[in-house]
Amino acid sequence: MHPPPCIFSFFSGSGLLDLGFESIGFNVAYVNEIFPPFMQAYRYSRHCMNLPLPEYGYCEGEEADVTRLVGGEPAFRLRELMQDARKHHDIVGFIAGPPCPDFSIGGKNRGGEGDKGQLSASYIELICQQQPDFFLFENVKGLWRTKKHKAFYGQLKHQLADSGYVFAERLINAIEYGVPQDRDRIILIGLRKNLVKNLGISLEEKSPMLAESLFPWQSQVLYPKSEIFSHPWPERTAFADDGFVPCPDGIPQDLTVEFWFQKNDVLNHPNAKHYFTPKAGIKRFGSVDEGDDSKKSFKRLHRWRYSPTACYGNNEVHLHPYKVRRLSVAETLAIQSLPKEFALPAKMTLTNMFKTVGNGVPYLAAQGIAKTILQFLYH
């Protein structure tokens, strides 16, 4: 039996990505989050789920500024923790999904020059400096979309290749892993060349990309993209407050919003009453058909379909399928496929609650990626 790999987590938010890795045996030893409300939520949710404290504790506030971790005293402290981790663990990895509004289609589009884009560059610099055995980098597919973003992303990969890493890369959709949500994300996994060679895998000299046949991406895919969207999903149903709509035949019911609302008992969840109520009238809330998610805002989910990407900032308003209101935090946690024991602190602001949920990597997708990495390391 192999000792579980040790994880250093950056841009940890409220810990959705970490939880997926931890649930299958990774040891999350170090947690880094600069924004205090997210870190409080991380601690609170772990308390709710009776999970142990990270071995090296929580790095938060100014100390957690990743741009500072690449130089001076903070970098030295991190190096010491890495050295200690290596004494007790065969494999040490970094995981992160740096903030992405500078690359997202609906965001500022400033790319690598934006403040948030710079955080991706700092994370890559940190990897090159600290040399973990493997790393995970999660980001929006906007990184592939425009010439400018592609060039920036290519530069980051070039830097990593020069530092001795080879890669496996894939555009995943959370729905493939059983998440009731259509959410595309780029996943870049880097592995030290020496580690891969020690696994008995021969590498191509010319390319830092691992051959597709070598990395078991498909092993954890439950619902292939090529098939899932061709099911007879219901389109739209006239909205009726608390109306009944039977589940249609021929769809995977466990990928529907309603299945997860029931599974997580969202009406009795600690965050059931946490939702925005409009300042002026709710007339508009009743005028959108169930399943009409065609507009940028005021998307109404369909109970017997998966959700559009869980994104609740920048005027993105997602409406409950059959109630005259917006989604609650409990419902968004279910859409992110979290265990029902996971909860956010009641004193957190609604804006921060929805932001941290929307920013997180869906739990089942995180779990699937973690299993894929384990399978590669211990094949």
- Exposure string of 171-180, with b = 16+ CB inside 10 Å and e = fewer, is ebbbbbbbbb
Closest CA relative to residue 60, chosen from 79, 81, 47, 41: 41
**Residue 318 amino acid letter:** H
CA angle 132–20–179, rounded 5-degree value: 130
Catalytic residue among 6, 48, 59, 100: 100
User: In sequence order, which ranges of the chain are alpha helices (DSSP H)?
Assistant: 16-22, 36-48, 72-88, 115-130, 142-145, 147-162, 193-198, 225-228, 257-263, 329-335, 350-359, 363-377
CA angle 14, 303, 180 (to 5 degrees): 40
Pick from 254, 361, 365, 275: which is nearest to 323 by CA? 275
Two tokens, residue 179: 């998440």
Active site residue 59: no
Q: Which residues contact 306 (CB under 8 A, 6 or more apart)?
A: 175, 179, 180, 181, 182, 233, 255, 256, 257
Among 94, 146, 85, CA closest to 122: 94
Pick the closest to residue 135 from 173, 104, 176, 163 (CA basis): 163
Report strand pairing: 27-33 vs 58-60: parallel
Task: Tell me the two tokens of residue 220.
Answer: 């954890």
CA atoms of 273 and 251, how far apart (whole Å): 30
Which residues does the annotation mark as catalytic?
Answer: 100
